[in-house]
Amino acid sequence: MYLCIVLFLAVLAVFDLLVGVANDAVNFLNSSVGSKAASFRTMLVLASIGVFIGASLSNGMMDIARHGIYQPQFFYFDELMCILLAVMLTDVVLLDVFNTMGLPTSTTVSMVFELLGGTFALALVKTLGSDEYSMGQLINTDKALQVIMAIFVSVAIAFFFGMVVQYISRVVFTFNYKKHLKYSIALFGGVAATSIVYFMLIKGLKDSSFMTAEVNEWIHTHSLTMLAGLFVFFTLLMQVLHWCKVNVFKVVVMMGTFALALAFAGNDLVNFIGVPLAGYDAYQDYMANGQAAGTDGWLMGSLLGSAKTPWYFLVAAGCVMVYALWTSKKAHNVIQTEVSLARQDEGEEGFGSTPVARRLVRYSLGLANTLSRITPERTKRWLETRFRKEELTLEDGAAFDLVRASVNLVLSSLLIALGTSLQLPLSTTYVTFMVSMGTSLADRAWGRDSAVFRITGVLSVIGGWFITAGAAFTICFFVTMIIYFGGSVAILVLIGVAVYSLIHSQMMFKKRKEKKDNADTVRKMLTTRDNAEVLALLREHTREELDKVLAFAQENFDRTVTSFLHENLRGLRRVNGSVKFEKQLIKQMKRTGTLAMSRLDNQTVLDKGLYYYQGNDFASELVYSIGRLCEPCLEHIDNNFKPLDAIQKGEFGDASESIGNLLQQARQMVAGNDYAALNDLVRKANELNGQLAHLKREELQRIQGQSGSIKVSMVYLTMIQEAQNVVTYTTNLLKVSRKFQTLDDNNEMPR
């Protein structure tokens, strides 16, 4: 059985490498991808070489999985295998969930807190069952506390220095950086290249398998001399390259990408294969020495020794990581999240607005106004000349320029190298992400119209890190308990659950990718300069969005009426939640449309702008009508008030069926962009509104005759009124949609 567990750990190690690279690829690719320093293929080649070399030379960091969190000399073989299996099952599923959502998270934190959760579970069992051990003996809490402190410190420091260094760099180079490279570029390139090489030696190769204690000691002793020599050499080299018309910023970005990829693989490989290798070593020790004592009688003190990982395991891991880097769609999805949060211009925002983000923006504006008042006018005017966005020099399709990409990579390298020299367990994810956010803020990429959404995105990612820690600890705690007490049956069940989770996650990811087809239309719309193409793409985007709104209205109008007539409280609550979510999507649609309209020429805006905005307003009112219809029905059923009588149910049931047919025809009209039958549909809608008005008069007569419940009658009248609104807003939406989708005022339809 334990041989099967070891083999299964090996399989999970491969999965963990695949999902881990998908998560961490953002650390070393976001700057090069965002700045378009080279083709994506070129950057993947550079990163692949760095990843393979880093993985092949990695070894020293494996000890954290052997004795960094638990004290192995106090755990028996079967207990240790229980912890390690629980850690890997939790890790693979947890990382895959975050990758599917497109959110970067820390593999270091996930592994440490999974080990902590699993160890705590069995430590609890051992201490409650015997006075022989204490929690302090079984758990090494120092490492976990170091990681937690490093989270807070690295997030704040990385963001602050990213903001400050980028601000200074932008003042020096301006957005039109090609005009300010005469001498400053050599100095910048020298500092950048020296930092990157130093980072590779200190952070990337410090614990590699070929680095001896003597070599490390020599590097440490001669660090200043080595840095001075490197600085002089690279400064001269960069000046020569500049004279040869080579873009030094691109050279720096490519060097930084390689260095970060190498360091990531060399130092984070333990997060993916450290636990399976610990299980493999434990199994070898048990088979060689402990079979006589039994699985529950052989303590694992052998894991206190340093890891000696066979080279072929490291090379195989490097191959798997390179494969994942080239083939993982989820890696590209995670990269896109960070690039979109850091891009220079406005565009479709992937996150909404939260009260915390709004409050932070408000406080920041107040602070900015205060600083502006105390800054001399001449200084303000000069600074404004250094931040003229209209002079921005971007590579084709880039989200930000090469200056910012270079600062991201160089500063990330320096901060991680500094943390390593101080023996702080900094996470590459934390540092690279927060440096990227700090530089984007200093670059004035977060304008007043986008800051609240960008901050919400940053807070969401940061929150994901802390959720990772809590989820890793909690899930692994319970998985360990289940395995320990459930035995072989529990292991088989949990393996089945993990496999199902991975398959389900992959299916959800494919669905999310299908939904992003519309996002591709938006990206094209917000990047093209051709007026006719922008208008055509905006029309296509509008048809897709209005079709979704009408589909939402059709589904939730029917669900509201059906749930109310059958007193289905759960159905009404579901509609209420759907309305809240749809309102956010409507806001997003309006923001995107406004950005697209700003890219059209004035004449097109005058001709079509009014119809577009009216269409958005009617779509919004349609959603709000569904909400106003649902709220009184939900309250009525929730309070267990008297239901509608048979006459009211019959009357409104017939009308609601006609409204459903109307919405279905409206959807077909919008999706097909064919409004030939619009006049007939408007006539049917007017007849339907007349029918609803007749129902309202009859209900008012019943109220005057004091027949029936007043509470029921008031809800019924509200339902009729909102049903009329749904019909009216639908027809108005179709009318303005036809005018917006036509080529001219003669209603000539586009091809």
Q: What is the DSSP code (8-state) at residue 297? A: T
Q: How many domains does the chain have?
A: 2
Query: Domain for residue 751, yes or no?
Result: no
Q: How buried is 474 (Cβ within 10 angstroms: 0-12 exposed, 13-18 middle, 19+ buried)?
A: middle
Same domain, 432 and 549: no
Given a cut of 80, whether residue 652 has pLDDT beyond it is: yes
The pLDDT value given to residue 747: 43
Query: Domain for residue 447, yes or no?
Result: yes
Given a cut of 80, whether residue 651 has pLDDT beyond it is: yes
The pLDDT value given to residue 726: 93
Band (316; pLDDT cuts 50, 70, 90): confident
Write the Ramachandran bin of 614: left for phi over 0, alpha for psi from -120 to 50, otherwise beta. alpha
Given a cut of 90, whether residue 487 has pLDDT beyond it is: no
pLDDT averaged over every residue in the chain: 80
Band (321; pLDDT cuts 50, 70, 90): confident
The pLDDT value given to residue 748: 41
More confident residue, 210 or 644: 644
The pLDDT value given to residue 422: 62
Same domain, 645 and 509: no
427-483 tens-digit pLDDT: 777 788 788 888 888 887 766 666 677 777 777 777 777 788 888 899 999 999 999
User: Where among 516, 544, 559 does a domain terminate?
Assistant: 516
Same domain, 456 and 537: no
Return d(Cα 96, Cα 63) in angstroms, integer.
25
Same domain, 146 and 125: yes
Given a cut of 70, whether residue 42 has pLDDT beyond it is: yes
* Sign of the dihedral defined by the CA atoms of residues 24, 30, 36, 37, in that order: negative
Buried b (16+ CB within 10 A) or exposed e, 516-526: eebbebbbebb
Q: Torsion angle, CA of 183/187/188/189, rounded to 10 degrees?
A: 100
Share of the chain above pLDDT 90, in %: 13
Same domain, 472 and 532: no
Return d(Cα 305, Cα 66) in angstroms, integer.
8
| Rounded average pLDDT over 382-389 | 80
Structure tokens at 600: 């059209």
Of the given ranges (79-83, 162-166, 400-404), which has the lowest mean pLDDT? 400-404
The pLDDT value given to residue 733: 92
Distance of CA 589 to the CA centre of its chain: 20
Same domain, 216 and 325: yes
Q: Is the Cβ–Cβ distance between 245 and 263 less than 8 Å?
A: no
Beta-bridge partner residues of 58 = 208
User: Where among 488, 516, 544 does a domain terminate?
Assistant: 516
Band (30; pLDDT cuts 50, 70, 90): confident
Q: Is the Cβ–Cβ distance between 393 and 177 less than 8 Å?
A: yes
The pLDDT value given to residue 661: 92
| Rounded average pLDDT over 512-532 | 64
Query: Domain for residue 522, yes or no?
Result: no
Query: Domain for residue 749, yes or no?
Result: no
Cα distances (angstroms) measured from residue 516 to each of 509, 511, 519, 520: 11, 9, 5, 6
The pLDDT value given to residue 372: 78
Same domain, 569 and 490: no
Cα distances (angstroms) measured from residue 551 to each of 540, 615, 730: 17, 16, 12
Same domain, 559 and 503: no
Same domain, 537 and 605: yes
Q: Torsion angle, CA of 351/357/358/363, rounded to 10 degrees?
A: -150
Same domain, 422 and 450: yes
Query: Domain for residue 750, yes or no?
Result: no
Domain extent at residue 169: 2-516
282-313 tens-digit pLDDT: 888 888 887 777 767 788 777 777 777 777 88
Same domain, 567 and 486: no
Q: Is the Cβ–Cβ distance between 684 and 741 less than 8 Å?
A: no
Instruction: Pick the most confident of 88-92, 172-176, 555-559.
Output: 555-559
Return d(Cα 658, Cα 528) in angstroms, integer.
43
Buried b (16+ CB within 10 A) or exposed e, 247-256: bbbbbbbbbb
Amino acid at 694: H
Query: Domain for residue 748, yes or no?
Result: no
CATH number of domain containing 620 = 1.20.58.220
110-136 tens-digit pLDDT: 888 888 898 899 989 888 877 777 777
In 286-354, where does DSSP find H-type helix?
Answer: 311-327, 329-342
Query: Domain for residue 11, yes or no?
Result: yes
- At residue 577, the 3 state secondary structure works out as helix
Query: Domain for residue 497, yes or no?
Result: yes
Phi, psi dihedral angles at 299 (to 5 degrees):
-80, 150
Band (512; pLDDT cuts 50, 70, 90): low
Same domain, 634 and 682: yes
Structure tokens at 513: 């990718």
User: Where among 476, 493, 516 does a domain terminate?
Assistant: 516
More confident residue, 204 or 54: 54
| Rounded average pLDDT over 376-391 | 81
In DSSP notation, 254-278 reads HHHHHHHHHHHHHHHHHHHHHHHHH
